[in-house]
Amino acid sequence: MEWIDEIEIKKIMNIPLKEGDSFLKKEIFSYTFPRPRIRTIIELEHYHCNIIVLSFYTDGSGNDKTRYRIKHNYSPVIVLRIYQACIKLFINLNVDNNYTLVFNASEDLDGYKEFNKRMSSYTKFLDYYYPSFSTDCYYSGYMGLNTFYFHHRDNIHSKQAVLFFNDYCERVKQYLNSSSEDTK
């Protein structure tokens, strides 16, 4: 894990809670790739039982509805560093193996595809870069929705993580159904 020291992440702020927010805390971080200068915003939503939902996007891209879905033609090195920045935040939180990471590999603006390229690259990345991912972690995903979660096998909140993930998948389904109805 020599790469972890090469990744410099800055905390930008905690987002104040609004009425209706289901998370306990939302933190915003940034990672800047030096040349070409590309700034990535990383959001961590904290839920009960140490469940983290991670999202990221390129600073200045899109609007609130599209920023997570815009595809950039970055070189593989830039993509790798962005992924490493995201997973470094989770590794720093998960020192006691009591956290669960949840994410959705958002569909592209040009349409929805099951097990899209983003989902494929995220899971390959975790297998290669997350410490003992294949041997010490429990993970599951819903490839039809491009949703995924994982936690250490010793995580004391594993049952709550499964319940949360099932609910999360339902919310993603509702979002996809409402988005497809909007385009009709």
Token pair in block for residue 88: 């470094």
Q: What is the pLDDT of residues 132-162, one digit of tens each?
A: 998 999 999 888 888 899 999 999 999 999 9
Structure pTM?
A: 0.87
Domain boundaries of the chain, sorted by first residue = 2-182
Angle at 100 between CA 178 and CA 1, to 5 degrees: 120
The amino acid at 53: V
Contact 58, 36 (CB under 8 A): no
Residue 36: cis peptide before it, omega within 30 degrees of 0: yes
Cα–Cα distance between 173 and 83 in angstroms, integer?
Answer: 25
| pLDDT score for 39 | 95
pLDDT surpasses 60 at 108:
no
Q: Between 117 and 88, whose confidence is greater?
A: 88
pLDDT confidence of residue 183: 47
Band of residue 26 on the pLDDT scale cut at 50, 70, 90: very high
